[in-house]
Structure 1
Amino acid sequence: MGTWGFGVLESDTAQDFIDQVRALPAEGRLTPVADLLGKVAADASLINREFLPEEVIAAVAIVAALGNESRNYAWMDDENFLDAIRGIQPQSQLRGVALMALREVAEGDNSFLLSGWKNDSDRAAITRQVDEIKAVLADA
């Protein structure tokens, strides 16, 4: 995996998922997001077998960003990401599923997403973004 920062979407894997979503017509963009989240929320053993943690967090971020008027979050500060979510209609029923999937990959120090960071300050930076996404999902 290639990363270039400490953000939840700052990896090749997350950006590849976002690119796949962005390549679809707007009306079909939510389908792969909902499919991935539903499968992971139902069966966490699929993480690292069928879906990488970075793909899961990208799908979760898409759901969190939909319908969110605020763009004051660092994880939303990416033109590729904003292009991918443009034209997607918010689906409030996906927020709970997204939150469940997020917990599967990013809850606890030994989580799939957080355990790979070698430096505590790097882990803290990504944890802040995960906490922001949880708050956005929970506030709706």
Structure 2
Amino acid sequence: MGTWGAGLLDSDSAQDFLDQANGMPVEARSTMVEEILVRVAEDPSVVNREFVPEEVVAAVAVVAATAARAREFEWMNNEALVEVAGEMDPQNHLRDAAISALSAVTGSGNSSLLSGWKNEDDRRSMERQLDEIRSVLRDS
């Protein structure tokens, strides 16, 4: 997997997920996001077997972006995310699944999303963005 920044969506896996979703009709996007989040929320062991953490985070970000609608956070300035979420209705029915799925990929101390950063500022940026998404999901 390649990354090019400390943003939640600054990886090949996250962008591939968003590109795939963008190529689908809106209802199919919603179904794809729902299937990933519900599956991970029900069985966190599927992470790294069926879905990489970056895909899960991208799906969570879609739900949060449909709830927030304003581009007030750095992670919401990702053009692929804006394109995917922009046409979707708020996905409030997925809020709990999104929070659970996000916990599944970030909850352990050895989460690949939070470990292995060479730059401490980048790691803190990732944590801040994850906290922003959690806040949006809780407040929606």
Instruction: Tell me if both proteins adopt one fold, taking TM over 0.5 as the criterion.
Output: yes
What is the aligned-residue RMSD (CA, Å)?
A: 1.2
Stretches of structure 1 that go unaligned for 5 or more consecutive residues are none
Letter in 2 for 1:128: R
- Secondary structure of residue in 1 paired with 2:38: helix
Aligned partner letter, 1:96? D
**CA 1:108–1:127 in 2, change beyond 3 Å: closer, same or farther?**
farther
- Give 3-state SS (helix, strand or coil) of 2:68's partner: coil
Pick closer, same or farther for the CA change 1:82–1:69 going to 2, 3 Å. Answer: closer
Give the structure with the larger helix fraction.
2
Q: How much does 1:108 deviate?
A: 4.6
Contact 1:104-1:111 at 8 Å conserved across structures: no
Moved beyond 6 Å, runs of 4+: none
1:59 aligned counterpart, secondary structure: helix
Q: CA deviation at 1:69?
A: 3.3
Query: Residue 41 of structure 1 aligns with which residue?
Result: 41
Partner residue of 2:123?
123
Q: Is the 8 A contact 1:26 1:86 kept in 2?
A: no
Give the drift of 1:22: 0.5
AA of the residue aligned to 1:54: E
TM-score normalized with structure 1 length: 0.94
TM value normalised by structure 2: 0.94
Q: Are the counterparts in 1 of residues 67 and 137 from structure 2 also a CA contact under 8 Å? A: no
Q: How many residues align?
A: 140
- Counterpart in 2 of 1:30? 30
Unaligned runs of 5+ in 2: none
2-side partners of 1:13 and 1:81: how far apart? 13
Provide the C-alpha distance between the structure 2 equivalents of 1:75 and 1:113, rounded to a whole number of angstroms.
15
Identity percentage of aligned residues: 51
Please report how far the alpha carbon of residue 120 of structure 1 lies from its aligned counterpart in structure 2 after TM superposition.
2.1
